[in-house]
Structure 1
Amino acid sequence: MKVSKETSAKHRDALVRAASRLFREKGFDKVGIAEITAAAGLTHGAFYTHFASKQALCAEAITRTSRRTAEAVKANTDWRAYVEAYLDPKHVRDRGNGCPYAALSGDVPRESALVKSAFSQALEGSIDALADRLGDRNGTAARERAILSLATLVGAVVLARTATDTGLRDEILSAAKAKLLGPSKA
């Protein structure tokens, strides 16, 4: 059955959204095409209408999710609130809906050149967005501050996710917040 361009675009979007969430939640290798299409409410065959391979879907999911992450950074006018939300235990627990860098950075080096390239380009865009967001237009200093901030945020969430003790998890998150925001005023 022939579907309209609008319906086809909705199907593609549903596939990318489902894949993005599942990849962040489980990793690239633990998610199959059948699971992605089921999560999107589509048949297995619908996948091949839109993508040549799972790797192509991985790359598009990375691009879209990281673009939304960069947009959120740009849109947020309160750096303190952004950091607090990012380093919140809810974000640590919700890997499937969280930051793609914290969820997938460990997986990407083992992926294809296509996936690595998409991730690297997305990372570059997020660093630029963060440098702009932090308000420094001082070239190298702005970029360095953005890289250090992003590395601190992502690293704290990655480490916090490995902690089985909530006390250790909270200690990691608090230390990162203090580094990025200064001592708590509470």
Structure 2
Amino acid sequence: MSIIRQIIILFGRLIYGREYIRGKYFNKNSIGARWILQCWFWQKIMRYNSDANWPVSHRVQVSNAKNIIFDPDDMQIFHTFGSYFQAFSAKIIIGKGTWIAPNVGLITANHDFEDLTRHAEGKDIIIGEKCWIGMNSVILPGVVLGPNTIVGAGSIVTKSFPEGNCVIAGNPAKLIKLIRKSGDDNDYKE
């Protein structure tokens, strides 16, 4: 690891939560140091996504970061563009190894139908391990997705698929196909 990269990583551990500035994106030849430099100005100076204690791209919107739980090895989910993580009064829990494409919305609370200036009570969103949320998809309050769930691009997920191992798509999202695991090699087959 070059001395410059080491200094940037050390700087990142001072301005962000130390628990987040570790793992595969902050090892040698990784992009974590670049994320620290790119996000530092927007988060710490311009105060955009400033409540997040980890590097978040200014092209992503995070609301109430303390309610977002994820594995630091999956930091890439906060470095695409256009994604929206709204965790006002409920949690967003993202399982290890999950990928979230650009322009995805995870919304824990809708507006109150009787008073649109307020939000209804929030409901947790739980996304299992090794899921893939396709571009321009929206996950609505209370949705639980089991492990290995693939959400097709442009889908609106209004109900839970807790069993996982499936492909869902559409508006509203429905089951397209099941994915069955074959042996210990982690290959998946239709």
TM-score (norm 2): 0.25
Structure with higher helix content: 1
Between 1 and 2, higher relative CO (CA 8 Å, sep ≥ 6) is seen in 1
If each structure's strand is expressed as a fraction of its own residues, which one has the higher value? Answer: 2
